[in-house]
Structure 1
């Protein structure tokens, strides 16, 4: 028979960083049954592979899932191979683009690799929700839709805000919570995890399980963490994220740019540092506290040696005002020239320092783009053939050679 830690110990550990707990008494009963029967709880977390990479915001509920694994329970990851094609409207002020199945499958493969930095992947039960939705058929989908009224479906804050603003809300977005809820029925979840903005969806799963004669799942949500701007939810599309697959030096540098007010949240949700020690760290000088936070995160997602090297490189570049040791060399072909020159925005985008020329142009007026150490604020500025040190922000550098026509 499987041995679990004492129930009080399990619950105390799971309380840290929990926002919604629906409800703790039910979880205690489930844990007591597990202790008697030796059957681990089935703990569900759904992931829609809607982009190629995950960031630290995604890891908050994943870390909670890892805690359940360490306590002896079964982690069930629902890969949203069907729901990602619909698009989760949670927290969105506009309709999320729908993805093709091949895009979803490609994203899923990179996600699997990256969640291995957080979870014990050898002990995950992997399920694709296309297993049951591909077989449901049209009339099965109609029956699923009959389980919820339109009035309840549009209760969500994001829908109310969009409708008040005169923005469209599509029918496929309204049905998303029903799909997520049915996942819980399909895998008979005991617990479902999600961000605090997902509570509505998680509660739908409880309702559906009761309708199907199953014991309702316990719903546990974790906080949403703000990104590097300190204001908006961490998002790759907003450019305020720290990616799980970021290089150690980039990851450390991003942590050092965090607003001071976010440090407590990051320590509590993304590290194992005891809360009493976090209080002491926050009382110290902010720079030293950020160094500790940066080393904790890089050690977790890379290793302690990489953390020490990243901290040393940060000091060398930003404290000692030296250049990085690994600046890339990029050569631009002649065909980028227009009337013998290339726009600075085009050059830095082609060098990989900005996601696009548009992103580069937006950074220029505030001095975010530098050529040979000098800010370039004119979005129409251009480079003649030659070799230049290009910089975007504080951490991105490249030597760019613009070839001359022969």
Structure 2
């Protein structure tokens, strides 16, 4: 099928819609013509396509940047296709060299087991667990054995492996490359053989590994999978990719109020990219919102909708509503309905300095930082700004606030 015929009027509306959903926000869909053929065949036969996503449980939790590819899986799942959420418990033992400039030490089996359980719970906040095929690649990788591993390795050359950018750069720089790292893309590709995947999803940094799956499926006499790569999501700063190390992330296990407030903190421009990659609203619905904002509607209205949608996905609709109200209360200088309760000892003198109050209540990491916050006008006690670092609080109960988001009801006894 030619590239021109992908949008041919002869395609059914169902296939055209499925292709539009597939292409939404993607970096690459290769080969697009093959994917259209698969969609046409699936519609004609009633046989759902097999959509594969593999994640290695290398960390205990994930942020919403990781859910971009999960959202694409959910979109394809909602079209009626079979989505396979593959947990790479075997490949994690090797360690993915993608984007690395050094060998990464593998995790222990126990670390992998604990992380895998967390990944599964978090992924099912996006995917429909009742319609998801959950697999672990140790199922077939352990069974492959030494003989099978040698036979698999014979299906790819070192020269082709060294075409991979990170390997080539490390080799040129004299940085060690362990032989076991060559096994990683082979094993990820073999996953596609074992699962008979029609398409595999991943981030842009996974393209080499995804193409390996196509190659190995052909080697094993299967129809090769298509590959779909999703872009890396910019973090709340709108500049760098979302990362915990850059503190521009939103963890999907963060409390609802924090999640809601962080989404509202992004720029109006970034909001639309997040809509495309994170929202389950249709592109048509998003275009209507864009038009309304362009015509004069406050962009904050659209941002609130996005914040509520994301918060509801990882918590609940009720939690999202409460988070919105909490944000409104804070914006008006009000106190959230639920804040930490802390009881501190006033000591023999019956008073406690404000710096120690902030530190012991967990509102500041140290008294020196507490003093800095006071100097900046960022500390309130019972709604009044604290201007004196020497303030001492007597026995009683106070609402103490630091910045816009930190509150505690402090009782001195």
TM-score normalised to structure 2 length:
0.78
Q: C-alpha distance in 1, partners of 2:80/2:262?
A: 34
C-alpha separation in 2, matches of 1:385 and 1:171: 67
- How far, CA to CA, are the matches of 1:126 and 1:243 in structure 2? 23
CA distance in 2 between partners of 1:80 and 1:14 (Å): 24
| 1:256 CA drift (Å) | 1.5
Match of 1:215 in 2: 223
Kindly report the root-mean-square deviation, in angstroms, between the aligned alpha carbons of the 2 structures. Answer: 4.1
Contact 2:155 2:219 in 1 (8 A): no
User: Alignment partner of 1:72: what SS?
Assistant: coil
1:136-147 equivalences in 2 (<5 Å): 136-147=144-155
- Range with bigger deviation, 61-70 or 210-219: 61-70
What is the match of residue 315 of structure 1? 328
Q: 1:380 aligns to what?
A: none
Partner of residue 199 from structure 1, selected from 197, 203, 207: 207
Matched, 1:304 2:314: no
What is the CA–CA distance in structure 2 between the aligned matches of 1:24 and 1:98, rounded to whole Å?
A: 36
**Partner secondary structure for residue 88 of structure 1:** coil
Q: 1:282 to 1:147 in 2, by over 3 A?
A: farther
Deviations 1:319-363 (A, max 9, x none): 213343322235689xxxxxxx9x98x958x94x79xx79x98xx
Partners of 1:60 and 1:78 lie apart in 2 by: 16
Matched with 1:276 is 287
Q: For the structure 1 residues 182 and 392, does the alpha-carbon distance in structure 2 shift closer, same or farther, using more than 3 Å as the test?
A: farther
| Aligned mates of 1:11, 1:121 — CA distance in 2 | 24
Which ranges in structure 1 are unaligned for 5 or more consecutive residues? 334-340, 376-382
Equivalent positions of 1:123-142 (< 5 A) are 123-142=131-150
- Per the TM alignment, residue 234 of structure 1 is displaced from its structure 2 partner at its CA by 1.8
Q: In 1, distance between residues paired with 2:239 and 2:102?
A: 19
CA contact (8 A) 1:256 1:291 kept: yes
Query: Map of 1:181-200 to 2, 5 A cutoff?
Result: 181-200=189-208
In the alignment, the residues of structure 2 paired with residue 99 and residue 332 of structure 1 have an alpha-carbon distance, to the nearest angstrom, of 41
Residues 379 and 402, structure 2, Cα contact 8 Å, conserved in 1: no
Offset at residue 266 of structure 1 (A): 0.3
Deviation at 1:209, TM superposition (A): 0.4
Matches of 2:238 and 2:172 in 1, distance apart? Answer: 27
For residues 54-133 of structure 1, the aligned pairs below 5 Å read: 54-92=62-100, 95-133=103-141
Structure 1, 162-171 or 320-329: larger mean CA deviation: 162-171
Judging changes above 3 Å, is the alpha-carbon distance between structure 1 residues 394 and 41 closer, same or farther for their aligned structure 2 residues? same
**2:25 aligns to what?**
17
Larger gyration radius, structure 1 or structure 2: 2
Q: Identify the residue that residue 350 of structure 2 maps to in structure 1.
A: none
SS of residue matched to 1:219: strand
- 1:119 to partner: Cα distance: 1.2
> Residue 91 and residue 258 in structure 1: after superposition, are their counterparts in 2 closer, same or farther (change >3 A)?
farther
> Where do residues 286-301 of structure 1 align in structure 2 (5 Å cutoff)?
286-301=299-314
CA displacement, residues 47-78 of structure 1 (integer Å, 9 cap, x when unaligned): 21222222211221112212222222111111
Shift in alpha-carbon separation, 1:301–1:218, aligned structure 2, 3 A = same
Q: Is the 8 A contact 1:298 1:307 kept in 2?
A: yes
**TM-score of the two chains, using structure 1 as the length reference:** 0.79
Counterparts in 2 of 1:332 and 1:282: CA distance versus 1, 3 Å: same
Contact 2:234-2:240 within 8 A present in 1 as well? yes
Distance apart, 1:394 and its partner CA: 4.7
Which structure 2 residues correspond to residues 140-289 of structure 1 after superposition, within 5 A?
140-160=148-168, 169-271=177-279, 272-273=281-282, 274-280=285-291, 283=294, 284-289=297-302
CA distance in 2, matches of 1:392, 1:90: 41
Q: Distance in 2 between matches of 1:161 and 1:259?
A: 36
| Structure 2: stretches of 5+ with no match in the other structure | 1-11, 346-352, 387-391
